[in-house]
Structure 1
Amino acid sequence: MNVDLKKIILIFLIFGISSCKSSGILELGNQKIKKEKLLYKDDFNKDLSSWIIEKEQRPNSEISIIEGKMDVNVAGGATIWSRQKIENNILIEYHRKVIIRGGENDRLSDLNQFWMAQDMTNSNLFTRSGSFGEYDSVRMYYAGIGGNRNTTTRFRKYPGNGERNLIYDLTGKTHLLEANKTYLIQILVFKGTTKVFVDDNEYFSYEDNEPLTEGYFGFRTVESHQEIDDFKIYKVEE
């Protein structure tokens, strides 16, 4: 292959990659998804007025903004709900880290999240104290990464009747947490299927016969110290 042809191929490849990035096309698993529109973002540079905090009343528990990140430092259970109601065909993404620096609440466990959450008996979802069992009556999806003291990673569907239906239970080291590592979390809800990606690796994919198509998103943890940043919600299409 001559030098000029190599240059042409290189230019073509660079142009192709740039075009794909600029158009917002992602390859998530075996699916190509286009970010059609940014619906909402929070860089946590101001305050937490766009969030509703439910946390157990324990000493030394605080959720605040520190150096442009949401800092979740709690001795008990906590859920931080986005006020933005979401609908089908969306991509949620954010960066998240479990902090282990010798602090009182530093524990490598429970990088958890709820999405498409609705309380079918109360139009106001945000009525709970942060205790995990109180959410059994909420209809939603749940992913718990590194739960049970970083021994399991699980995906559940809550039908809203008190049951917690286990769909995936992963125990391999590659699906557990590393201390002080910043993860990119992406949650896709698209045409009846929901998927969870961690650093571009597909952890869960669930084609739901009775899909949840609207509700709320919430960060969830218990007895942990975590940082969250770069929260975005996109409308997506193929």
Structure 2
Amino acid sequence: MRRTVLGAALLLPAIARARPDATLLHADDFDHGLANWHVECERPGRIETRGGALDIDVPAGVTLWFRHALAGPLAIDYSVLPVAKGGPNDRVSDVNCFWMARDPRAQTGNVLDRPRNGAFEDYDDLQTYYAGIGGNGNTTSRFRRYVGERGNRPLLPQHDLRTPDTLLQPNRPIHVRLIANGRHIALLRDDVPLFSLEDPAPYRSGHFGLRTTQSHLQVRALRIWKLDAA
């Protein structure tokens, strides 16, 4: 494992409260196929690695779970390009993710022990943090703390964003940083806080998953860091 220094945005007091040094736990530059990923796809699509990117081109819902279980405090970094080049799924929508996801109905709590079909509602019963940037045809950006109940996706008013600066732009990459540092849960977009939560009962371990539906995304440079405790 390698120690390094993360950017100043990680140190925002209300977001992370982390010291600047961190240990690299996992990295994927998408040059060795999909060995690190478990794919749950609602309908057949094209999911492949090429040119240092994970290329996701799908007509319906898909979740790609990172196979390694994670424990906080941690930060997850990656970039996403919403592709708009005239393809059938190039609608610029749904840069989504789960993190610290657990399945209370699985004996071990591991989300990989009970596969799902890729439809969004099939994930309602997880205990997880979830965020969607440019959802609903690029009209909303939302953050939720799932509580493990079918049909229940809690949404606080401050986590339901609709202004243009919180949405996606065609063919423009964004950098996503997810934080799970004790009670401090956050998503930073291009080093700017988009969502934050002070969670009195935080989810401290689980899986990370990339999520989208009817879209064409290219994901690059995944890094997962172990943070010093706040």
Q: Which residue of 1 aligns with 2:165?
A: 174
The whole-number CA distance in structure 2 between the counterparts of 1:33 and 1:100 is 38
Q: Report the Cα offset of residue 32 of structure 1.
A: 5.2
Q: Which residue of 2 aligns with 1:125?
A: 111
Q: Which residues in structure 2 correspond to 1:1-238 (within 5 Å)?
A: 23-24=5-6, 26-28=8-10, 29-30=12-13, 31=17, 33-58=19-44, 61-122=45-106, 123=108, 124-126=110-112, 127-162=115-150, 163-167=152-156, 168-237=159-228
Give the unaligned 5+ runs of structure 2.
none
The whole-number CA distance in structure 1 between the counterparts of 2:116 and 2:7 is 38
> Which whole-Å deviations, capped at 9, do the CAs of 1:101-145 have from their partners, x for residues lacking one?
000111111000001111111135230010001000111010000
The whole-number CA distance in structure 1 between the counterparts of 2:51 and 2:219 is 11
Give the unaligned 5+ runs of structure 1.
1-21
Instruction: State the TM-score, normalizing by the size of structure 2.
Output: 0.89
The whole-number CA distance in structure 2 between the counterparts of 1:33 and 1:184 is 21
Q: Residue 24 and residue 155 in structure 1: after superposition, are their counterparts in 2 closer, same or farther (change >3 A)?
A: closer
Instruction: State the TM-score, normalizing by the size of structure 1.
Output: 0.87
Once superposed, what is the RMSD of the aligned Cα atoms? 1.6
Contact 2:41 2:62 in 1 (8 A): yes
Q: Report the Cα offset of residue 161 of structure 1.
A: 1.6
Q: Secondary structure at the match of 1:212?
A: coil
The whole-number CA distance in structure 1 between the counterparts of 2:175 and 2:42 is 27
The whole-number CA distance in structure 1 between the counterparts of 2:64 and 2:162 is 26
Contact 1:117 1:214 in 2 (8 A): yes
Q: Secondary structure at the match of 1:27?
A: helix
Q: Residue 223 and residue 207 in structure 1: after superposition, are their counterparts in 2 closer, same or farther (change >3 A)?
A: same
The whole-number CA distance in structure 2 between the counterparts of 1:75 and 1:151 is 19
Instruction: Kindly provide the amino acid, as one letter, of the partner of residue 194 in structure 2.
Output: Y
